[in-house]
Chains A and B, each alone.
Chain A
């Protein structure tokens, strides 16, 4: 069964460093998302991406964040200068199309900023 894959599963970084979280969405999906989940809290939307551009972004997704689809398979989230409060589980998701189709999520990347 096709799945969304994320790497790495866990990343530890120093405050102020740049990190890139990687995702490979399901191959025939068109819509891509990043969410984050601070430990024990709700799943928060960060950004959606379609047709090589951002469709929508939340207040969390400020200038420190960027997304890119550098080739036909990868979808990356970059945090330019990490802060302690960026520590969270980051989930990538993809959907086949719009409307009411469900989103498929990756296993997540646990980011720890020290």
Chain B
């Protein structure tokens, strides 16, 4: 079945370091891809999305590019801040899927230290 695989956490970085969180997917067809973020004690918020191959989603300095050839959607940020500490979830859904639910990865916890 459809699945999302994320790199294992936790990831600990110093402020201003470069961040990459890997995400790959297995799916029949071409899904839409999302990154959600969960700050401590809060719910899930959409961070960015991409709906077709080679699309780049971006928000708050984060970027991810939909790579069909490698079935990947890696999350990157050039310079992380302490406020970026959170759990990041990669997710997919199929276009024209009606009410089919999002499929989530296991999440990657990021801790940024000053």
A102 to B104, CA, bound (A): 13
* B93–A55 CB distance below 8 A: no
**Which residues 33-56 of B sit at the A interface, judged by CB distance below 8 A?**
34, 36, 42-46, 49, 51
Give A46's nearest chain B residue, CB to CB. Answer: B101
Chain B residues, Cβ within 8 Å of A56: 99-101
Give B41's nearest chain A residue, CB to CB. Answer: A107
Chain A residues, Cβ within 8 Å of B89: 43
* 10 further contact pairs, Cβ within 8 A, besides A42-B107, A93-B102: A33-B101, A33-B102, A42-B104, A45-B104, A55-B99, A56-B99, A98-B100, A99-B97, A104-B46, A108-B43
Number of interface residues of A (CB under 8 A): 27
Chain B residues, Cβ within 8 Å of A91: 43-44
Tell which of A6, A48, A100, A104 touches B101, judged by Cβ atoms closer than 8 Å.
A48
* A102–B34 CB distance below 8 A: yes
Give B95's nearest chain A residue, CB to CB. Answer: A100
Chain B residues, Cβ within 8 Å of A107: 42-43
Query: What 0/1 readout, one digit per residue, does chain B (76-114) give for beta carbons within 8 Å of chain A?
Result: 000000000000010001111111111111110000000
Chain A residues, Cβ within 8 Å of B106: 41-42
Give B33's nearest chain A residue, CB to CB. Answer: A100
User: Chain A interface (Cβ within 8 Å of chain B)?
Assistant: 4, 6, 31, 33, 35, 41-45, 48-50, 55-56, 91, 93, 98-100, 102-108
Q: Is B32 an interface residue (CB 8 A)?
A: yes
* A98–B98 CB distance below 8 A: yes
* B99–A103 CB distance below 8 A: no
* B51–A100 CB distance below 8 A: yes
Chain B residues, Cβ within 8 Å of A35: 101, 104
A65 to B94, CA, bound (A): 26
* B97–A31 CB distance below 8 A: no
